[in-house]
Chains A and B, each alone.
Chain A
Amino acid sequence: MIRFAAIRLVEIIAMLALMSFLIYALIGLMPGDPIDLMRSADPRMSAADAARLKALYGLDQPLLLRYAGWARQALAGDLGYSRLFAAPVWGALLPRLGNSLLLMVPSFVLAFTIALGLGTLAARHPRSRLDGAVNLFCFAGISMPTFWLALILILVFAAGFGWLPASGIATAGSSDIADRLRHLVMPVTTLTLVSAASYTRYVRSAMREALAQDHIRTARAKGASEARVVVHHALRSALVPVTTILALSFGGLVSGALVTETMFAYPGMGKLIFDAVMGNDYNLALAALLLATVVTMVANLVADLAYAWLDPRVSYR
């Protein structure tokens, strides 16, 4: 198990190195060049000035050499300076990551709770009216464009009733906790509904499979209460595949909430990556993309380890 985790860690590091180079190269292929941008902003700058600046920043060197320079600094903990935020990359990145987690964790927990409840209920009464209703909810949720759901929520609750703020994380100048919570309601609801729908499908099919096992019949035969059968005997084995899927999806959530963040003007990681890429902020884009990759890969590793932990039959020698 420890050996397995160690090998996977090495793999993750290798993958990160590869990804960082790939992203570095890709970013160079994006439209616009910082020096060209400066030139177009300042008509007094001559071609010679531009060439001197390029040499100063090392932009005239070949790709591999520039990458090596970046990697050396990054390994020493210096990710560079963000042009967009006019601050070191770390300073721009960390608050955004915090905001993202504030959005992710509650909706993840809520979605999981809903999925567990609905999925178990539906699995216990297959082909019933309840099962049909849950199925309808699932299909609606996975087919719903996220931004459309967000739009409708804004239309109804912000523009229509005026109950909730439509965007941002707090009213300007307010440091009230209740105010921050009110700003979280709609983005969290959007994310929860969308992810609960897909989680419910997994929980339902895992529970269906678990409830069809022989040991469930044995448990019932020996007189265990229905609640004990469902929670203790079925849920325990149904959680194995479900955990894997949850861990996998958590990684994607951190950067994947981009659409929700954009709709509610919520300053999280997804929006940061988008703005950095669009704003030619190379240092920031590179660091943020790598951070998203790290989170995803660590989540995958956790998924694998949880799998072995929950199911003793699985062993990674």
Chain B
Amino acid sequence: MKLPLILLVVIAAASFAAPLVNAILGIDPNVVDLLDRLSGPSLAHPLGTDELGRDVLLRLLAGGRVSLVIGVAAALAAAALGTLIGLTAGYLGGWTDRVLMRGTDAMIALPLLPLLIVLAALDLNKLGLPARLIQSDEISVVRIVALAVLVGWTTAARLVRGAALVTRNRDFVRAARSLGAGVPHILWLHILPNVLAPLIVATTLSVGDVILFESVLSFLGLGVQPPLSSWGSMLSNAQELITAAPLLAVYPGLMIFLTVVACNLLGDALQRRLDPVTARTR
């Protein structure tokens, strides 16, 4: 559990300290220097420069911030939405449950990647969103988070629903109900704590999934757009220079790989700690 956690903390700390590093080294990752393109490692540029003469190390750190923010934000939002749906379905049961779970099943049965391409390519102007939002720099990030939540909520919903179904007839819940506790109170105080452990595990794992998902969309040109850049979009740019400067493609891929491995290992370790019953036979 320690190693992946340390790795994640180091990557996150370095990414979020990027502006500080810029200030100390006195370089800006967005400054273009066409006289110093594709240079190798040097004292001024530890990992060299890219096709526009920008410092690769600093761009990696800045890109990491975007990738990590997307990963964590989407995982948390998907967990929240899934929990809400799962709690409603599991506790209320009956028709609500049937309709919501059919929806979940249908989501799982769809070919997601091609549908996501269509969704990622939609013209936001035709959707009638406010122009100020559409023209902001962060719109591509918001769009990716929204898409990741749209496909990601089902895991949490199934988990929470299952646990809610089991827990709602336990004695302490019945006791609370007979004492006149309202539905929100029961859900929040009696049911939710019982699903927290698997939920935390699933959310940790999904951070890695979202980062991979973001990198795929960015790779296809549908993800993070300039002026922002993420590891995925860096890789997609580097792909055109694959023979001239292969290392430009290796670095961001390695960062994605390390971060996702760390998330997966952390999720696995958390499961062993928090949820020993399921983890026992593993």
| Given contacts A29-B127, A252-B111, A23 and B281 within 8 Å (CB-CB) | no
| Given contacts A143-B260, A273-B114, A289-B115, A148 and B253 within 8 Å (CB-CB) | yes
Cβ-neighbour of A27 out of B118, B215, B220, B235 (below 8 A):
B118
Cβ-neighbour of B220 out of A28, A140, A148, A274 (below 8 A):
A274
Tell me if A148 and B208 are in contact (CB < 8 A): no
Tell me if B216 and A208 are in contact (CB < 8 A): no
- A205 interface residue per 8 A CB criterion: yes
Give bound CA distance, A270 to B250, whole Å.
Answer: 25
| Given contacts A139-B264, A252-B111, A259-B216, A277 and B118 within 8 Å (CB-CB) | yes
Tell me if B216 and A296 are in contact (CB < 8 A): no
Give bound CA distance, A26 to B119, whole Å.
Answer: 8
| Given contacts A143-B260, A145-B253, A151 and B117 within 8 Å (CB-CB) | no
- B2 interface residue per 8 A CB criterion: no
Tell me if B117 and A145 are in contact (CB < 8 A): no
Tell me if B261 and A151 are in contact (CB < 8 A): no
| Given contacts A148-B256, A262-B220, A256 and B113 within 8 Å (CB-CB) | yes
The interface residues of chain B lying within 8 Å CB-to-CB of A30 are 118, 121-123
| Given contacts A145-B256, A256-B111, A139 and B261 within 8 Å (CB-CB) | yes
Cβ-neighbour of B111 out of A32, A212, A262, A293 (below 8 A):
A293
| Given contacts A140-B261, A145-B212, A274-B220, A208 and B246 within 8 Å (CB-CB) | no
A251-287 with Cβ < 8 A to chain B = 251-252, 254-256, 258-259, 262, 270, 273-274, 277-278, 285
The interface residues of chain A lying within 8 Å CB-to-CB of B121 are 30-31, 277-278
Tell me if A31 and B123 are in contact (CB < 8 A): yes
The interface residues of chain B lying within 8 Å CB-to-CB of A297 are 109
Kindly state the interface size class of chain A when it binds its partner. Answer: 35 or more
Tell me if A148 and B281 are in contact (CB < 8 A): no
Tell me if B118 and A143 are in contact (CB < 8 A): no
The interface residues of chain B lying within 8 Å CB-to-CB of A270 are 113-114
- A21 interface residue per 8 A CB criterion: no
B85-121 with Cβ < 8 A to chain A = 106, 109-115, 117-119, 121
- A15 interface residue per 8 A CB criterion: yes
Tell me if B114 and A155 are in contact (CB < 8 A): no
The interface residues of chain A lying within 8 Å CB-to-CB of B268 are 139
| Given contacts A143-B208, A205-B282, A278-B121, A151 and B242 within 8 Å (CB-CB) | yes
Tell me if A205 and B281 are in contact (CB < 8 A): yes
| Given contacts A205-B282, A255-B111, A29 and B264 within 8 Å (CB-CB) | no
| A interface footprint on B246-282 (CB within 8 Å = 1, 0 otherwise) | 1001100100110011011100100000000000011
The A/B interface has a contact count, at CB < 8 Å, of: 130
Give bound CA distance, A200 to B231, whole Å.
Answer: 28
The interface residues of chain B lying within 8 Å CB-to-CB of A262 are 219-220
The interface residues of chain B lying within 8 Å CB-to-CB of A152 are 250, 253
| B interface footprint on A38-82 (CB within 8 Å = 1, 0 otherwise) | 000000000000000000000000000000000000000000000
Tell me if B118 and A289 are in contact (CB < 8 A): yes
Give bound CA distance, A147 to B261, whole Å.
Answer: 16
Give bound CA distance, A142 to B117, whole Å.
Answer: 22
Tell me if B109 and A143 are in contact (CB < 8 A): no
- A203 interface residue per 8 A CB criterion: no
- B132 interface residue per 8 A CB criterion: no
Tell me if A292 and B111 are in contact (CB < 8 A): yes
The interface residues of chain B lying within 8 Å CB-to-CB of A254 are 111
The interface residues of chain B lying within 8 Å CB-to-CB of A144 are 257, 260
Tell me the minimal C-beta distance from B256 to chain A in angstroms: 5
The interface residues of chain B lying within 8 Å CB-to-CB of A107 are none
- A133 interface residue per 8 A CB criterion: no
Tell me if A143 and B261 are in contact (CB < 8 A): yes
Task: Output the nearest chain B residue to A26 by Cβ-Cβ distance.
Answer: B118
Which of A31, A147, A288 has the most chain B CB atoms closer than 10 A to its own CB? Answer: A147
Per CB-CB distance, the 10 closest pairs between chain A and chain B, nearest first, are A148-B253, A143-B260, A31-B123, A143-B261, A292-B111, A273-B114, A255-B111, A296-B111, A29-B126, A255-B114
CB pairs A–B below 8 angstroms (20 shown): A23-B115, A26-B122, A28-B126, A29-B123, A30-B121, A30-B123, A31-B123, A31-B125, A140-B261, A145-B212, A145-B232, A145-B253, A147-B215, A151-B253, A154-B242, A252-B113, A258-B114, A258-B220, A288-B114, A296-B110
Given A23-B118, A255-B113, A277-B114: 4 more A-B contacts, CB < 8 Å:
A142-B264, A159-B242, A254-B111, A296-B110
B residues contacting A by CB (< 8 A) are 106, 109-115, 117-119, 121-123, 125-127, 208, 212, 215-216, 219-220, 232, 235, 239, 242-243, 246, 249-250, 253, 256-257, 260-261, 263-265, 268, 281-282
